[in-house]
């Protein structure tokens, strides 16, 4: 018996939502890679929970990518077992995402401590590591900041106690930071801790918005999958 218009519509909606899931999975993979790259570029990370967050995002993205492809095939072929398995796997993904969101909320409270610890380490080892020097200079240039809380954090940078790295300068030139620690016209006076926290929190907000959109699509996908399962089980033939 041919499917009445409603169930046929459900089939194509499920296929459409799975295609959107597939794109979302791909987007999560890209976002995870970008977040990992950004963290590595701006911080010398020692806290495993910090570097683990983007890895979780990438992992969830890969799983969603393949589940969505699997769901598209199940919807198109009207296979009851494939659609059922798709709904179960998508439900498990939502549970994992809820757990990740809780972990992210917990980590949010550790953000200040992680940033402060890493910035202190970077300033302390600035002259001892080329890698740390490059990361610190790039951070100060990009965020227009200097030191942890202020330029005074660089008081041990040079014997005169009045110099800062050139990357602290408003206009970066060779030796522009020599003797200019307190000169607000030449050197940025804002510390990097506040600037970096603001930058990370701003980007976290976009991640939360994206997560809510994906969660809504996933819930709709489960609803449509259940409707299609019920239709297939009732003996409908989907054209």
Residues of the chain with pLDDT > 70, as a percent, come to: 79
Domain ranges of the chain: 5-112+203-233
Q: Give the chain's residues under pLDDT 50.
A: 1-3, 44-49, 237-239
- The residues with which 169 forms a beta bridge, in sequence order, are 187
Q: For residue range 138-151, what is the model confidence (pLDDT) as tens digits?
A: 889 988 999 988 99
pLDDT of residue 2: 41
The DSSP letter of residue 149 is S
pLDDT of residue 87: 85
Q: How far is CA 112 from the centre of its chain?
A: 17
Q: How far is CA 236 from the centre of its chain?
A: 43
Is the CB of residue 111 less than 8 Å from the CB of residue 141? no
DSSP 212-230: HHHHHHHHHHHHHHHHHHH
Q: For CA atoms 122, 126, 128, 129, give the dihedral sign.
A: positive
């Amino acid at each position: 018996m041919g499917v009445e218009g409603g169930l046929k519509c459900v089939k194509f909606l499920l296929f459409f939502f799975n295609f959107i899931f597939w794109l979302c999975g791909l987007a999560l993979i890209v976002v995870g890679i970008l977040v990992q790259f950004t963290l590595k570029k701006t911080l010398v990370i020692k806290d495993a929970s910090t570097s683990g967050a983007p890895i979780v995002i990438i992992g969830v993205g890969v799983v969603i990518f393949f589940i969505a492809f699997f769901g598209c095939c199940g919807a198109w072929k009207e296979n009851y077992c494939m659609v059922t398995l798709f709904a179960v796997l998508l439900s498990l993904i939502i549970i994992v995402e809820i757990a990740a969101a809780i972990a992210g909320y917990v980590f949010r409270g550790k953000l200040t401590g992680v940033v402060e610890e890493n910035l202190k380490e970077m300033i302390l080892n600035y002259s001892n590591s080329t890698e740390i020097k490059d990361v610190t200079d790039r951070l100060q240039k990009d965020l227009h900041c200097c030191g942890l809380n202020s330029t005074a954090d660089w008081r041990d940078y040079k014997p005169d106690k009045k110099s800062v790295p050139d990357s602290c300068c408003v206009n970066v030139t060779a030796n522009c930071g020599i003797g200019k620690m307190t000169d607000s016209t030449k050197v940025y006076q804002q510390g990097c801790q506040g600037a970096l926290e603001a930058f990370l929190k701003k980007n976290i907000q976009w991640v939360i918005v994206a997560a809510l959109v994906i969660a809504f699509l996933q819930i709709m996908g489960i609803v449509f999958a259940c409707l299609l399962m019920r239709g297939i089980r009732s003996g409908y033939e989907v054209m």
